[in-house]
Structure 1
Amino acid sequence: MNKTLEQLFNFLYPIFRKWGLGYSFSSYLSLVLNIIILIVLTYTIYMFFRFLFVTAMAVIALKTKTKFDDLIISNKTVIYIAQLIPFTLIYKSVPIILERYDYWEDIFGKLVGVYIVLLVLWIIRTLLNTTQDYLKHIPRYSDKPIDSFIQVIMIVLWMFGISVIISKLFGISQKEMLTILGAVSAIIILIFRDTILGFVASVQVAINDMVRIGDWITMDRYGADGDVIEINLATVKVRNFDNTTTTIPTYSLSSDSFHNWRGMLKSDGRRIKRHILIKAGSIRFLEDTELDELQKIELIRPYIQSRKAEIDRYNRANAVDKSIAINGRNMTNLGLFRKYINQYLHLHPGLNKNMIMLCRQLQLTAQGVPLEVYAFSTDKRFENYEYIMADIFDHVIASVKYFHLEVYEMPSESNFLDYELPVRKTKGTL
């Protein structure tokens, strides 16, 4: 190839000298014409190979079922490869054309060499992007942090490419470059601290399957509460449910705590764990007349009848003095209410009957007795889950008064305004 280029670019100068033109004029004229020839030649070669590669890839893409070749076309990989061929020709031609101009030969030779290195890196980058896009279309890899690994490969390649560029520009050998890099390794580690930590965290995330793209995570420290949309070397992007985006450092996933709701979404139900506060002063034993009235509630009628018969037998057998309600065994309005809620939960169509389902009493508080519903909804979608939970507690709150109970709530201004202070009589008052 070099011999052919020498014949192509060296034939003009002898012709001009034979025509009697001066040395300098012949040299400059042949230089200008050679540059024009090189530009025309490289442009023609570029257009030819671009048409050839693009057409060939389009034909291949039509005849194959895989999306990989389509992605190569969309990422313009073949166009960059087509550029590499004419620039290689320029790199080989510069020493021949500028043979008599050492200064310019050195400058242009280095510049073309640097561009070729950058072009090779760009071609590799488009191939990696194509691989990344292709893997994201495969379900097995769609939720993996592929971006992180691609970025690590590109960082290594860019470091190698920069070292090659520096060695070309300043005439430093690769061995000397490695020595220099070793000497400034502490500074390099300091500069790329987040990148190194992000790489380690990305490996841990992938190996331990801590986070996948599409997972719903909650991280209070960064105000993140939403779906993971991107995992790369430095950051994890979370689209919150208010449509804002939170960016979390990747290494924080391995150093800080966070909630991943993937397990819940894959389970058979989404947990409902909410309580209401019952006013402690409204809890009491029930009299027979009240029990007769509560038997009209169909869900607990069988329970009241069987429980009342059991208690009466016990009290008669032990000759319990029932003139005081606290003696012997009794039923309370809160106990019956808990039984009613349990029955109601078992009949609710939105709850999973194969998972834990109960109404329990929590530790007494200054605001009253917490009565908690603990169950799992079959529908795990946010809007439907909230509807099911609200539907249950609408019924629970509305049912309280039928059991002669009261729900605790903080007194409002109107409560104080409506309250009448007793009039205190003093001496001398008529």
Structure 2
Amino acid sequence: MYKLIEQIFKFLYPLFRKWGMGYSLATYTSLIINIVLLCVLAYFIYVVFRLVLVTVMVFVAQKTKTQFDDLLVSNKTAKYIAHLIPLLLIYKSVPIILNKFEYWEGVFGKLVGIYIVFLVLWIIRTIFNALRDYLKLKPRYSDKPIDSFIQVIMIVLWMVGVTIIISKLFEINPKDLLTTLGAVSALIILIFRDIILGFVASVQVSINDMVRIGDWITMDKFGADGDVIEINLTTVKVRNFDNTTTTIPTYSLSSDSFQNWRGMLNSEGRRIKRHILIKTSSIRFLEESELNNLKDIEIISSYIDSQKRDIDKFNNSNSVDKSIPINGRNLTNLGLFRKYITQYLENHPALNQEMLLMCRQLQSTSHGVPIEIYVFSKDKRWENYEYVMSDVFDHIFASVKYFDLEVFELPSERDYLK
């Protein structure tokens, strides 16, 4: 067996000499043994330190009142620190073990050094993630853009880390590297502006999950209103509902405002928010005979009875003079109409009763008093949604006259002729 290994060694010896490794078989045997022993020792140290650090950190987290150390445990900070300690041992041992192999000493030294830089950045990232989660638990910082601040800090740290890696890999002074990059950056930005902006935007879109292929987005600036069919480095393609295609620069998704309808599609309903205008001059108090007639409307009959009892009790107990309707408490045709709409909406089978349902009065305008309907349709498909909304407002418009109200509309030519 030993002779076979020796024959293989003699065959590979010229290649070893080419890489500066022309040593005897005994030297290589000793080297391999040292490397194996170092790896075993490093793994043993890693296991011990990981066990100790994780145990200590969990123990401290359980004993302290602050939640920051609990978040460090959940972000596995101790685990990554345990990786760092044996790596430092290997980094310091490489020059000793490979002191006769200058070529491989340089290669392995650089690789281990680069890995250490990446690991340090990852440890810092876990600490910042724990800090982010901790600050979000504080009411004082819950509404602050903590993620943005941490992203900026991590971008700066990654830039520093990449600079260290490049300078270590090519044995360049970091100051000279930064000077060269500063001189070339203006030209690079000028030539590859769209590509650089698109790349940064793509990363932001991906990390923040802003847009996915298949999402329905609306972007008025570019006339886009449809489904996203393609996302690449520089452009986003949107197939509009009229079957045209709009191309949007990718960086516009992070610099400009757009509307993503994914949340609506994933929810339990699609919002209906629309109002009608009631002529102010048609709003008035209701008389007793009118209330008796309106009691024939089934869904508000019990409401009229209960309100009438409360109003009569109040007016009688306060000896209110009802010869003038404005005295005391009274029902108005608009108030009763709003109650009718609310009851009608609550009984409509196509509306989601578990979501917000409201009929409200908005600030009056020169065109009358807006009565807004705010509900959610169960069916989110466009054609069905439009049908439900039209069905609701058809009924509302047809119901106005029963309350002696008028819908405002601008006069037509026929009105002027009259």
Report if TM-score (shorter chain) is over 0.5: yes
Q: How many residues align?
A: 239
| Per-residue Cα deviation, 1:337-387 (whole angstroms, up to 9, x for no partner) | 000000000000111111110110000000000000001111111111111
| Per-residue Cα deviation, 1:209-229 (whole angstroms, up to 9, x for no partner) | 000001111111111111111
Match of 2:317 in 1: 317
| Per-residue Cα deviation, 1:52-111 (whole angstroms, up to 9, x for no partner) | xxxxxxxxxxxxxxxxxxxxxxxxxxxxxxxxxxxxxxxxxxxxxxxxxxxxxxxxxxxx
Q: Answer yes or no: is 1:225 the counterpart of 2:245.
A: no
Match of 2:403 in 1: 403
Please report how far the alpha carbon of residue 200 of structure 1 lies from its aligned counterpart in structure 2 after TM superposition.
Answer: 0.8
Match of 2:173 in 1: none
Match of 1:377 in 2: 377
Match of 2:265 in 1: 265
- Higher alpha-carbon Rg: 1
Helix, strand or coil for the counterpart of 1:248? Answer: strand
- Cα distance in 2 for residues equivalent to 1:373 and 1:181: 59
One-letter amino acid matched to 1:225: D
Match of 2:139 in 1: none
Match of 1:215 in 2: 215
One-letter amino acid matched to 2:310: E
Please report how far the alpha carbon of residue 182 of structure 1 lies from its aligned counterpart in structure 2 after TM superposition.
Answer: 10
Helix, strand or coil for the counterpart of 2:284? Answer: coil
Please report how far the alpha carbon of residue 192 of structure 1 lies from its aligned counterpart in structure 2 after TM superposition.
Answer: 1.3
- Cα distance in 2 for residues equivalent to 1:252 and 1:188: 20
Q: Answer yes or no: is 1:326 the counterpart of 2:326.
A: yes
Q: Answer yes or no: is 1:343 the counterpart of 2:343.
A: yes
Check 1:359–1:183 CA distance in 2 against 1; reply closer, same or farther (3 A cut): closer
- Cα distance in 1 for residues equivalent to 2:185 and 2:415: 72
TM-score, normalised to structure 1, is 0.54
Helix, strand or coil for the counterpart of 2:399? Answer: helix
Q: Answer yes or no: is 1:235 the counterpart of 2:214.
A: no
Match of 2:393 in 1: 393
- Cα distance in 2 for residues equivalent to 1:254 and 1:392: 38
- Cα distance in 2 for residues equivalent to 1:329 and 1:208: 55
Q: What pairs up with 1:141-220 in 2 under 5 angstroms?
A: 186-220=186-220
- Cα distance in 2 for residues equivalent to 1:212 and 1:283: 50
- Cα distance in 2 for residues equivalent to 1:223 and 1:392: 30
Please report how far the alpha carbon of residue 187 of structure 1 lies from its aligned counterpart in structure 2 after TM superposition.
Answer: 3.3
List alignment gaps of at least 5 residues for structure 1.
1-179, 419-430
- Cα distance in 2 for residues equivalent to 1:384 and 1:334: 30
- Cα distance in 2 for residues equivalent to 1:232 and 1:289: 70
Once the two structures are overlaid, the 10-residue window that deviates more, 190-199 or 277-286, is 190-199
Check 1:185–1:340 CA distance in 2 against 1; reply closer, same or farther (3 A cut): closer
Please report how far the alpha carbon of residue 189 of structure 1 lies from its aligned counterpart in structure 2 after TM superposition.
Answer: 3.0
- Cα distance in 1 for residues equivalent to 2:189 and 2:326: 76
| Per-residue Cα deviation, 1:13-33 (whole angstroms, up to 9, x for no partner) | xxxxxxxxxxxxxxxxxxxxx
Please report how far the alpha carbon of residue 314 of structure 1 lies from its aligned counterpart in structure 2 after TM superposition.
Answer: 1.0
RMSD: 1.5
- Cα distance in 2 for residues equivalent to 1:278 and 1:405: 7
One-letter amino acid matched to 2:193: R
| Per-residue Cα deviation, 1:235-261 (whole angstroms, up to 9, x for no partner) | 001111111111100000011111111
Match of 2:282 in 1: 282
Check 1:322–1:228 CA distance in 2 against 1; reply closer, same or farther (3 A cut): same
Helix, strand or coil for the counterpart of 2:364? Answer: coil
- Cα distance in 2 for residues equivalent to 1:293 and 1:383: 38
Please report how far the alpha carbon of residue 184 of structure 1 lies from its aligned counterpart in structure 2 after TM superposition.
Answer: 6.2
- Cα distance in 2 for residues equivalent to 1:183 and 1:401: 76
Kindly, what percent of the aligned residue pairs are identical?
74
